[in-house]
Amino acid sequence: TQLLEQSPQFLSIQEGENLTVYCNSSSVFSSLQWYRQEPGEGPVLLVTVVTGGEVKKLKRLTFQFGDARKDSSLHITAAQPGDTGLYLCAGVDNYGQNFVFGPGTRLSVLP
C-alpha cells in the first residue's frame, strides 16, 4: 500500500499570512490531486499535477509536484477566512491500480 503523508496536520493563521502545506510519499505517483473540503461538505477537486516539477496556479494557490513525483506542496498567498477547510492530497500509484488519500491538513484562517 502506498501511503501519502501530509504536514502539518493542523494550521491556524491570521488573515493575510502566507502558508505552505506538504504531501509526501516514499513511492512514485503518476499524478497527484489536491482537494479542499469545507465543514459538512464533500471534498472538491482543486487541481491535478502530472509532470514532475510541474507548477500550477489557481488564483492565490500555487501547487507544485516534486521532480521525482513523490511529493507535492500547496502554497497559499495572503490567506483569507474563505480558505479555511481540510486540504487533502490524493494520488494514483505508479502501478495505476489504486487511488489513495492523505490524512489532510486542517487549515483555519482567522479574520
| Nearer to another protein (CB atom), residue 35 or residue 66 | 35
Contact residues for another protein (CB under 8 A)? Answer: 33, 35, 40-45, 48, 86, 88, 90, 92, 96-99, 101-104, 106
Cβ atoms within 10 Å, residue 47? 18
The 8-class DSSP code of residue 68 comes to: T
| Nearer to another protein (CB atom), residue 43 or residue 66 | 43
Place of cell 505508479: 94
Cβ atoms within 10 Å, residue 46? 17
Rounded least distance, CB 26 to another protein, Å: 19
The grid coordinates listed for 24 are 509526501
Rounded least distance, CB 39 to another protein, Å: 9
